[in-house]
Amino acid sequence: MKTDILIIGGGPAGVTCAVTARKNYPKKRVVLIRKQKKAVIPCAIPYIFCRLNSIDENLLPDKILEDNQIKVLIGEAVDISVKDKKVKLKSGKRIEYEKLILATGSEPILIPIKGIEKQGVFLVKKDYEYLKKLRKAVLFAKNIVIIGGGFIGVEFAEEISNFKDKKISIIEKAEHCLSFNFDDEFIKIVEKKLKEKGVKIYLKKSVEEIGGAKAVEYVKLDDKEKIPADLVILSIGARPNTKLAEKAGIRIEEKGTILVDEYLRTNIKDIFAVGDCAQTKHFLTGENVSVMLASVACSEARIAVSNLYKIKALRENKGTLGAFSTCVAGLGLGVAGLTEKMAEIGKYNYIIGTAEVPDHHPGSLPETKSISVKLIFLKGGEKYLLGGEIMGPEKIGEMVNIIALAVQQGLSAFDFQNFQISTHPLLTSSPIAYPLIAAAQDAIKKMDA
């Protein structure tokens, strides 16, 4: 079989590659290979227990592929012959490509905890059949221990806490949950929300043993405390799937991802890599970072595909901003660019501006909630925005994208002060105290002081 553009991987990165290829190159043949018959939406896996009624409600719709005339092959790519530009499937089938994109994703990290092989211990795999089992296990479990308090751990805990009959614990090694992503004043509110929903949080603790006869009965911490458990979920991170690439002689960088340049090209001609399996550099620091997010993967996919046939400088990957958001018990949280913690570690000369404002105006309107924002600007010179964090109702999921765009565009505190916005009583904060502008003005006040 012959194709023009061949994509390995059917997750968000792979699908975005396919759709972008169709928009940019209407006449090219595009083939996508994926292992699973049904592809799950990775970001919404935490919500398969309560908000969604089945794994089938959490599938990447194949319609988007059909609508874009993408040929989908179900199968496992086991070999890339880079010389004659062919990919071999487990079935023996060979596909010849003009351009190849690896979007092979990542898989959950497994660490050698004693007892990890016991019945009732689950990982968070992006696998339809596996998740069906996990869903059933969660619905029947009474005492659930989640190891790892990152985004997945926190979101799982919050979702499952909607069932009033289950006891949920999070074990986190660091001082706080989400501590790599948000500053402490934001994290503390997340932890408070979780506690209000009955989730028990063990901080600065690690797991010594998962105990029980055949099935899990308890989790023993390093301080010897035993937490009763009939279900354990391990959510301590993910590692890139690079076996296929390695076998083909594609270079892997020190952090274990596929080495790519600013156009997402690997070291082998006509082979690109995007998403969790590919190297990610930070937009501001230029350093290699381990950011595995569907949004980043999709952004890389768009850039890679734009550059498949000719390099256009405008479309290079300037590095990853690190824009995250989550939602805990109705409270949205978002971050883009650097947190204060990261700015401190990076020894930036920075200044902080904050604001807390009602999300409607006047605040006496029904269903008004509060928005808190923290912006970090370079001090002196250009006063560029380095990053920001925001907390509040659902709309903050889009406000963090304003922050993301502002960091990408190199806006200064003064640019922010002059940012022309639209406001409406029922939709936004007041034009007088619009939170992003108010935070920039707070920073300006401190600069002049």
| Interaction between residue 445 and a copy of itself (CB under 8 A) | yes
CB nearer to a copy of itself: pick between 349 and 364: 364
| Interaction between residue 23 and a copy of itself (CB under 8 A) | yes
**Nearest distance, CB of residue 412 and a copy of itself, angstroms:** 7
Distance CA(62)–CA(446), nearest Å, equals 52
The token pair that represents 329 in the structure block: 């018990």
Name which of residues 298 to 327 contact a copy of itself (CB under 8 A). Answer: 298-299, 302-303, 306, 312, 314-315, 317, 320-321, 323-327
Distance CA(342)–CA(180), nearest Å, equals 9
Name which of residues 56 to 85 contact a copy of itself (CB under 8 A). Answer: 57-61, 64
Identify the helix (H) or strand (E) that includes residue 127. none
Name which of residues 393 to 412 contact a copy of itself (CB under 8 A). Answer: 394-402, 404-406, 408-409, 411-412
| Interaction between residue 294 and a copy of itself (CB under 8 A) | yes
**Nearest distance, CB of residue 84 and a copy of itself, angstroms:** 30
61, with CB counted inside 10 A (0-12, 13-18, 19+), is: exposed
| Interaction between residue 138 and a copy of itself (CB under 8 A) | no
| Interaction between residue 21 and a copy of itself (CB under 8 A) | no
| Interaction between residue 437 and a copy of itself (CB under 8 A) | yes
Name which of residues 26 to 55 contact a copy of itself (CB under 8 A). Answer: 26, 41, 43-44, 46-47, 51-52
Distance CA(434)–CA(393), nearest Å, equals 15
| Interaction between residue 391 and a copy of itself (CB under 8 A) | no
CB nearer to a copy of itself: pick between 231 and 438: 438
| Interaction between residue 241 and a copy of itself (CB under 8 A) | no
Handedness of CA 281, 286, 288, 293 (dihedral sign): negative
Name which of residues 326 to 355 contact a copy of itself (CB under 8 A). Answer: 326-327, 332, 334-336
Distance CA(215)–CA(194), nearest Å, equals 27
Backbone angles phi, psi at 445, to 5 degrees: -60, -45
| Interaction between residue 441 and a copy of itself (CB under 8 A) | yes
Give the bridge partners for 81, in sequence order.
Answer: 86
Distance CA(381)–CA(371), nearest Å, equals 29
Q: Is 160 helix (H, G, I), strand (E, B) or coil?
A: helix
Distance CA(207)–CA(331), nearest Å, equals 29
| Interaction between residue 181 and a copy of itself (CB under 8 A) | no
